[in-house]
Structures are given as C-alpha cells and as structure tokens.
Structure 1
C-alpha cells in the first residue's frame, strides 16, 4: 500500500520550476512523472488557476537530468539547435495572427478616434452663448 502524501508537502509553481531547470521544464516534468496539481485562487476579479509541481519529484528528476538518465528530448530544451529551429518555426507560423490582431486593434482605435472627433466637433458647433435677457 502506497503511503499518502502528507498535508505539508511543498509544491513548486511553474516559475520556480523554470528557475530550477532553466533549459527545460514543462515537457520534462510530464515525461519523467513529476506529480502536478492545479491550484485555484479566487478574487474580486474572478478565479486564477496555475500548475504546481511536487518538490520531491522535481528533486528526483533534477538528479536524473544531472546523471543523464532523465527522459529528455533535444527539442524540449531551449538551448539546443533543434529547439531554436522549432521556436523560429512557431514564430513564423504565428506571425499572420499577430499581424491580424494588430490590424484589428488599429482599426478599432481609428473608429473610436473618429467618433470622438466627430462628436467633439458637433458639440462645439451647436454652442450658443448664454442669454442675459431679463
């Protein structure tokens, strides 16, 4: 029978895991059996969810990475030629979407500016000075 995890087990956030394994973290954690959990925080503006990773598993896999026994593919790392090629490919693939998003924002901004300018000009042309007739 497996022992249950105690309540005081430390969990690492994605940011801390990325600092612990700067060249590879997300796919490596998944491939090497690092236990993960979603944490939820509720606030006035809604809920936030984030991944956390089991500290003992992170330490175990860090040792396996140092020993060279961890499941680690070249394209998972961010310091290999394969990863740089994949990153360039993804940037080229996402470029049309980024350009389209920028155009939509520019058009929306132009429409808002036009409406504001037109409404400002209309309100200034219908201005009449106050009458002091008694």
Structure 2
C-alpha cells in the first residue's frame, strides 16, 4: 500500500492546483457520489472534510469533502485498471451500482410526491373548512 501524507498535514507552498469537489471527482471515477469518501479512503487519496459539526438537538451540519487533484488522477488510473477494491454497489459501471442508484432516486422522488400530496391535501382541507 503506498504511503500518503496525513490528511491534516500542511500542503507544500508551491502547490497551486485547487482541490476537487465531489462532483468533479465523480466525473473522473466510476463511483456514485455518495460513496466517494469511502472509495477515496480505499485508494489512499487525501481528503479534506468541512462541516459536519454537531448542532445539538438539531442534528449535524452537512459534511463536504474536497480531494487532492494529484491523488485523484493517480487513483482514477488504479480504479480503471481494477487495482482498487471498490464494492460493486458503489460503482456506476456495474449492474448492482446502477440498480442501487435507480432505487435511491425512485425513493427520493416518491417521498417528494407523497410530501407534496400531503401538503395539497392539508391546503385543500383548510380551504374547504374556510368556505364551509
């Protein structure tokens, strides 16, 4: 396993290339965006994490990740050649991964439709009660 510096280690001053966000990495790797941090860990890619701090009773703030550009390019080659073990449900180029992506989008859309229907039902009942 290649050695990579600690993610918290300061970067050299000569590095000027900006770190990549999740969408940019998802374009380079055949990995679903939700699983990019896990895949980056398996490929020894340096990752910076922002947010995620506790909000007490209100849960946690969203967590954002940025990825080292040189490590991402190196890992893209390793992933394409199959040298990095990534579960098939994490990938976008396998039937399992495409099926998981389809069902997660389906559940999201179904949830949105149910919430919208409930809102319209409540508004309809409010209007009916006001008119009656």
- Using structure 2 for the length normalisation, give the TM-score: 0.59
Higher strand share: 1
Other-structure match for 1:131: none
Other-structure match for 1:110: 124
1:24 corresponds, among 23, 27, 31, to 31
| 1: CA distance, partners of 2:106 / 2:28 | 29
Q: Number of aligned pairs?
A: 110
Structure 1 portions without partners, runs of 5+: 41-46, 119-134
2:120 counterpart SS class: helix
After TM superposition, give the deviation of residue 58 of structure 1 in Å.
0.5
Other-structure match for 1:123: none
- Cα deviation digits, residues 55-110 of structure 1 (max 9, x gap): 12101211212332112221111221111332344456557634431222213443
**Counterparts in 2 of 1:74 and 1:54: CA distance versus 1, 3 Å:** same
**Counterparts in 2 of 1:80 and 1:67: CA distance versus 1, 3 Å:** closer
| 1: CA distance, partners of 2:44 / 2:124 | 51
Larger radius of gyration: 1
